[in-house]
Chain A
Amino acid sequence: DIVMTQSPESLAVSLGERATINCKSSQSLLYSSNNRNYLAWYQQKSGQPPKLLIYWASTRESGVPDRFSGSGSGTDFTLTISSLQAEDVAVYYCQQYYGNRCSFGQGTKLEI
């Protein structure tokens, strides 16, 4: 099974500053036939279900603000929030959907 490892476990960033969360997979998530990385990012605010932010490693879901961006390929990926807003306080998870079985990273708690 593919193991996803996020870093850091928690992160405190000032309003308006950049936040960066890393995610590493135990095997490549790049599918050679379509050149796509099967990696998604989710945001979970307190008391709510997760919300899909980014898929294919870098494609924003409809309605997601453009301050959120995803990058990386193969086994190393990054979620960046360019200018942190108060409403971005949440736990962020990466998820691989390459295999038949999904798996999530352990989560990164983002605080102000």
Chain B
Amino acid sequence: QVHLLQPGAAVEKPGASLTLSCQTSGYNFTDFYIHWVRQAPGQGLEWMAWIYPKTTETKFAQNFQDWVAVTMDTSSGTAYLEFKKLKSDDTSVYFCARGWGRLLDLWGQGTLVTVSS
């Protein structure tokens, strides 16, 4: 059975860096994309980025290009979303999702990130 496991929550101060994980299981990690999607409190879904493990290619939404990075560890089947410098309005739920190309067919439960001093 396919799983995408994300930590439930993270709390950080403004200006800090943060790395979120997405641990996959139940399928061949390199055959599918991993996407990251943000959902601010009470708001809709906002696509952030994808990484394709087979080639390590990445693509970002313009809003996120300069302040997040996406990486992966093929040996453990884990993808990561790295924030370089958190702001208070980064407080959101961050989902990882498996991508059949750019079609997101299975989602993790999401990590609630709270940025507060």
Contacts and interface: CB of A to CB of B under 8 A. Distances in A.
Interface residues on A, range: 20 to 34
A48 B108 CA distance: 9
B109 A49 contact: yes
Contacts, number: 60
A93 B44 contact: yes
Contact of A107 (B44, B62, B108): B44
Given A1-B62, A49-B95, A49-B110, A104 B45 contact: yes
A53 to B, nearest CB: 11
A95 B44 CA distance: 12
Given A49-B110, A50-B95, A101-B59, A40 B103 contact: yes
Interface residues of B, number: 22
A97 B101 contact: yes
Interface of B: 35, 44-47, 50, 59-62, 95, 97, 101-110
Q: Return the 4 tightest CB-CB contacts between A and B, nearest first.
A: A97-B102, A49-B107, A107-B44, A102-B47
